[in-house]
Amino acid sequence: MTAQRFALRLLAGYRPSAVQRMASTTQSRALATQNVTSQTTADSGELYDVVIIGGGPAGCALAAALGSLDSLSRKRVALVDPGKLSEMRQWTPPADAYLPRTLQITSSNKRYLDNLGLWQWCFEDRVQAYNRAVVTDALGGGAVDLAAMTLHGRNDTAFMVETKNLVSGLLKALDHSSSCVDVVERARVTEIEATPSMWPVVTLSNSRRLQARLIVGADGASSRVRKYAGIGTYGTEYSQYGLVATLCLEQLNSSAFQRFLPSGPIALLPFPGGFANLVWSLDSELVQLLKTAPEAIFGDLINAAFRLTPAEMGYIYSLLRSGVDPDIIGAEISWRLDVFARNNPDTNIKLPPRVAALSPRSRTSFPLRMRMVDTLVANRVALIGDAGHVMHPLAGQGLNMGLADVQCLAQVLEQAAAAGEDLGSAAVLDRYNSQRYVRNLAMQGIVDKVWHVFGAHSGTVATLRSLAMNGLDRLPAIKSRMIHAFMQ
């Protein structure tokens, strides 16, 4: 989809009507309020009010949220995942390392998890709070220091947490609660089918059949639930991969750093104890080159990427391609970094601490893309998280959008249950879609445009964007409001 087409649809207030996409059904409140706790049928299997497909962060968060609500205490909820969720719940973190798969959580989403009593089950000593991010442009030289300030009585702090830490904590919260949620692990969805009774049936690889008033797709970018519902997708392939790794820094750090390079943005995100998470966007050739680069010089490559010019980085890449001895490459980088330090003695405040080492075997990669959906709901189906939206990680908003979906859907279902409504009815699901669809679309559009603006290599564009960055850096009130908008 072109940027122009996206802009026109957004400006026109485009939002597919969820009701138009649903089958025309009439359900009575008697159906909505009947007790299904003990009901099963030979044809349709076990009856549930809500079946959540996908035990990732969004799915577990929704299951834990629904399980904590009094108005839903008599509803049956199932969380289904093909993985070993019991092992994930019992996860014991390594003592001397952090995992490369991490998440950034905004202050508002962290408050939400706190208020539900869910956050306390994470290993909080492995969570890093930060309220400063430094963003620089390698081509134009622009820089903006985004240090959050208290606004409206709230300090806009973000939190870095390992994905396993968050999911494990949510599962422990479920396990220690007296909630209505059944956790069904090691069970793959083999089929989803509509039935004459109007409630779809989910068939699992363990031969269980779950019939649900509402199926929630939290099963990722390749969502089987979305495909069953016939919800269309569109978007952009960035022809890039995200290279992630765990780094050991030379000193403690509680700030985030991001530099836009011609090859893609590189970000260093803080963790406790002098560790950091790397997220580097690269094309397929470069990501393979850097994934297989000797561990001994990988830290040098990160230090160079945050300090040297694009031309110098191109030369270093050529040395790697040519198979030059790693010691020679390391010496070349060290010499260039010394020259940089002598010529730029006052720039340390806008640079991350130097990387001392790469955490062994922590490098991995994943493709980068943007995926939008035509709607977040269909007949007795709702999508949350990556099943409903995929975006570039440069702003760290992917999970936060998913948690916003969770908050909204949980609230809508809570209100519906209190009013005696059918949780999977068109009227209920359209309330969720109307609150989340356009907001998700807008955030995806903003991040996509940032990627395209900083991906432009034109000297004129680089100059203009750097002027804008330097100008913004001199306007603390606007910076603070911008941070506040992203943190909410």
pLDDT score for 484: 62
Q: How many degrees, rounded to 5, is the angle at CA 81 between CA 76 and CA 85?
A: 95
Tell me the torsion sign for CA atoms 56, 148, 277, 461. positive
Between the CA of residue 415 and those of 409, 419, 423, 432, what are the distances in Å? 10, 6, 10, 11
Phi, psi of 93 (to 5 degrees): -70, 150
What average pLDDT does range 424-445 have in this prediction?
95
What is the signed CA dihedral for 444, 448, 450, 451, rounded to 10 degrees? Answer: 140
pLDDT tens sequence across 304-362: 999 999 999 999 999 999 999 999 999 999 999 999 999 988 776 789 999 999 999 99
- H/E element, 349: none
pLDDT score for 25: 34
User: What is the rounded average pLDDT for all residues in the chain?
Assistant: 86
Which comes out higher in pLDDT, residue 457 or 316?
Answer: 316
pTM for this model (two decimals): 0.86
pLDDT tens sequence across 81-135: 999 999 999 999 998 899 999 999 998 899 999 999 999 999 999 999 998 889 9
Residue 371 CA to residue 236 CA, distance in Å, equals 7
Q: Which two tokens stand for residue 434?
A: 């109307």
Count other Cβ atoms within 10 Å, centred on residue 478. Answer: 11
3-class DSSP state of 440: helix
Whether residue 417 is predicted with pLDDT greater than 70 in this model: the reply is: yes
Phi, psi of 411 (to 5 degrees): -65, -45
pLDDT score for 170: 96
Find all residues with CB under 8 Å of 37, minimum gap 6, and list them: 74, 76
Q: Which of 444, 102, 453 is nearest to 260 (CA)?
A: 453
Q: What is the DSSP string of 365-431?
A: EEEEEEEEES-SEETTEEE-GGGT-B--GGGS-HHHHHHHHHHHHHHHHHHHHHTT--TTSHHHHHH
Whether residue 31 is predicted with pLDDT greater than 70 in this model: the reply is: no
- H/E element, 334: helix 326-343
Percent of the residues in the chain that have a pLDDT greater than 70, as a whole number? 86
What average pLDDT does range 270-283 have in this prediction?
96
* pLDDT band with cut points at 50, 70 and 90 for residue 35: very low
Count Cβ atoms within 10 A of the Cβ of residue 233 and give its class: 0-12 exposed, 13-18 middle, 19 or more buried: middle
What average pLDDT does range 126-152 have in this prediction?
81
pLDDT score for 486: 60
Q: What does the buried/exposed string (b/e) look like for 114-149 if buried means 16 or more CB atoms within 10 Å of the residue's CB?
A: eebebbebbbeebbbbbbbbbbbbbbbebbbbbebe
pLDDT score for 7: 37
Whether residue 17 is predicted with pLDDT greater than 80 in this model: the reply is: no
The type of residue at 355 is V
Between the CA of residue 419 and those of 116, 180, 243, 412, what are the distances in Å? 22, 19, 48, 11
Whether residue 15 is predicted with pLDDT greater than 90 in this model: the reply is: no
Whether residue 36 is predicted with pLDDT greater than 50 in this model: the reply is: no
The type of residue at 230 is G
How many residues are listed for the chain in this entry?
488
Q: Which of 265, 317, 280, 310 is nearest to 455 (CA)?
A: 265
Q: Which of 100, 24, 62, 79 is nearest to 393 (CA)?
A: 100
pLDDT score for 259: 94
Which comes out higher in pLDDT, residue 239 or 187?
Answer: 187
Percent of the residues in the chain that have a pLDDT greater than 90, as a whole number? 67
* pLDDT band with cut points at 50, 70 and 90 for residue 151: very low
pLDDT tens sequence across 43-52: 567 999 999 9
Q: Which two tokens stand for residue 130?
A: 């930060």
* pLDDT band with cut points at 50, 70 and 90 for residue 485: low
Q: What single-letter DSSP state applies at residue 150?
A: E
The type of residue at 360 is P
Q: How many degrees, rounded to 5, is the angle at CA 143 between CA 140 and CA 147?
A: 165
Residue 422 CA to residue 88 CA, distance in Å, equals 33
